[in-house]
Amino acid sequence: MPITTEKDIKSALESVELPYLGVNPVAAGLPLNIAVDDAGIEVELQVGFPVGGCATELTGPMADALGGLVEGNVSVKLTQKVVAHEVQSTLTPLPGVKNIIAVASGKGGVGKSTIAVNLALALKVDGARVGMLDADIYGPSQARMLDSEDEQPVSKDGKRFEPIESHGIYMISAGNLFGNDQPAVWRGPMATRALTQLALDTNWPDLDYLIVDMPPGTGDIQLTLSQKIPVAGAVIVTTPQDIALLDARKGYQMFDKVNVAVLGVVENMSVFVCPHCGESTHLFGEGGGADMAGDYELPLLGQVPLSLDIRAEADAGNPSVIANPDGTAAQEYFRIARNTAARLSLRKKDYKKAFPKIVVE
């Protein structure tokens, strides 16, 4: 067999479209370390998203492609390094928080908060350090979903909050500040100030991702988020229903206008599978999320079924990723999380923090 060169190895790797990234490792610009000797080939790649639960999915196809080059052993190893990515041009990432991902919908009732909490938990299970900011000031859900309703954030200095830790992620929500039945009877400016304080005046630990559960709509809070909070990317949640899609498209247009990258679309409640007979029924229509993703040249990050278990697990403060990690719904949440983080890893890195601010006196 002829001598295998680095060029041969890269050529073989170019034939492999990696799951979640959607491109081959060479086109993705992944850092490669290649070693070739009489014993075989050893390749080490560094990816920019957590791969704790999907490493074999990524290394297997690459090892298969390299297997035809040598008679010896083929070893493909992955390391992961999550870095900060580009945000709005006038802002810089929060101290210690590498990437903020907004989970949004134009319309309420599409299951956005359930998607957000399972996205956060899936990233954590895969090996990332994750936080959750509940930006829905009027209708907070994350305190219930993360089983922290009875906890209140403390302030050691009277100025900044300490986040609450639950299920291994760090979170804060207006639901932790008010009683269960106590509404936030606030005008828009008060709500936006509350969001700003929760985001900027919380002592977040070092995080790879801070997931922001956005309220529905395109109003004051969304505008505040785009102007004051550095967002690396957004995820749009919709159901297949035409009415929901109309508002989801408005949500996409809003992020586009404020220069926040949309990482993809999640179609929630995509199909109902009868627990008794197994028949699938598209209660809210079929293919709407895929159509929207195609229209805007975005990836369809995942399609979550309509399930009683998903609702019950979230209401009990034990979301599907934690309650039943091997279940169908949880596996789809893992796919959504990996698609989201992988797509973000392909975006421009944020180099603004690498250069010191020079002051001439």
In this prediction, the residues of the chain whose per-residue pLDDT falls under 50 are: 354-361
Helices (H), 126-187: 142-145
pLDDT score for 25: 94
Tell me the CATH number for domain 6-80.
3.30.300.130
pLDDT score for 44: 95
pLDDT score for 193: 81
DSSP class of 202:
B
pLDDT score for 281: 83
Domain ranges of the chain: 6-80, 97-345
201 sits in the region (left: phi over 0; alpha: psi -120 to 50; else beta) called: alpha
Q: How far apart are the first and last CA of the chain?
A: 67
pLDDT score for 352: 61
DSSP class of 137:
S
- Please give the model's pTM, rounded to 2 decimal places: 0.91
pLDDT score for 343: 97
Neighbours of 190 (CB within 10 A): 13
Same fold, 6-80 and 97-345: no
Helices (H), the chain: 6-13, 55-66, 112-125, 142-145, 188-200, 220-228, 242-257, 288-295, 308-315, 320-323, 328-345
pLDDT score for 360: 47
pLDDT score for 43: 93
pLDDT score for 355: 46
C-alpha–C-alpha distance, residues 212 and 130, integer Å? 11
97-345 CATH, one of 3.90.110.10, 3.30.70.20, 3.40.50.300, 3.40.50.2300:
3.40.50.300
